Amino acid sequence: MIGGVIHKFGDHVDTDVILPGRYLVLREPQELAKHCLEGLDPTFTARVKPGDFVVAGRNFGSGSSREHAPVALKAVGVGCIVAASFARIFYRNAINIGLPVITCPDFARDAKNGASAQIDMASGRIEYQGHVYHGEGLPSAIRAIVDAGGLVPYVQQRLSTLA
């Protein structure tokens, strides 16, 4: 269980507002972190504390496939993103780089900006204001990538057994 403050956003938060295109010349996570969510809320990087949660509505991370977006969210210290649904490429990218993502429409609806919640990443269990929510589980094939710590160590293991 980790605890954190909720930063609440609406539906269809796209990767252009998470990390605007003009910063795509950058590749260092700490550099990208400085511009995280700048297109939507330029005060976010000043407010967010390590381990905080981003909670959003439908289709979080829609649009461009830029992996810079989840990298920026991870580097700025976001501990977990909970959304009613995720755009497909963003969801894969987050899992691949080891940024926890949980799909939970009920919590996404109830969560209030600035309130605190407790989340158990492994089980997807969320405790919030006396209620317990359960995020959707992952298929076993994808669980294996998460358990390995992301796609890089996962492929590393595979390549070393092939060698």
Partner 1 sequence: MPLTMTEKIFAAHAKEKSVRAGEIVTVRPDVVMLNDISGPFAFEPFRTMGATKVFDPDRVVLVADHFSPAKDVQSAEAIRILRDFGREQGIVHYYDSGNGGIEHAVLAEIGKVYPGALVFGADSHTCTAGALNASGIGFGSTDLAAALALGELWLRVPDAIRVDLEGSQAPYITGKDVILELIRRIGSDGALYAALEFGGPGLQALNVDERFAVANMAVEGGAETCIMEADDQVFAYAAAHGAPSGHAVAADAGATYRARQRIDLSALEPVVAVPPSPANGVPVSELKGTRVDQVYIGNCSNGTLTDLRQAASILRGRRVAPGVRLIVVPATHAIYRAAMREGLLDVISEAGASISVSTCGACFGGHMGILAKGETAVATTNRNFRGRMGDPEARVFLANAWVAAAAAVAGEIVHPGDVTAERKAVA
In whole angstroms, the minimum distance from the beta carbon of 34 to partner 1 comes to: 15
Least Å distance, CB 117 to partner 1, is: 24
Q: Which amino acid is at 104?
A: C
Residue 121 or 151: which CB sits closer to partner 1?
151
- Cα 48 to Cα 7: distance, rounded to the nearest angstrom: 8
Closer Cβ to partner 1, 52 or 67, answer by number: 67
Q: How far is the CB of 151 from partner 1 (least distance, A)?
A: 5
Task: Name the 3-class secondary structure at 125.
Answer: strand
Q: Give the pair of three-digit tokens for residue 45.
A: 């990087």
Residue (57 or 77) nearer to partner 1, CB: 57
Whether the CB-CB separation of 80 and 4 falls below 8 Å is answered with yes
Q: State which residue, 18 or 55, has the beta carbon closest to partner 1.
A: 18
Whole-number minimum distance, CB 67 to partner 1, in Å? 4
Q: What is the DSSP secondary structure assignment for residue 37, as one 8-state letter?
A: T
Site residues, partner 1 (CB under 8 A): 12, 14, 16-17, 20-22, 24-27, 39-40, 58-59, 62-68, 70, 85, 87-89, 92-93, 96-97, 139, 141-142, 150-152, 155-156, 158-160, 163
Distance CA 87, CA 149 (A): 21
Helix, strand, coil abundance in the chain, percent, nearest 5: 35, 20, 40
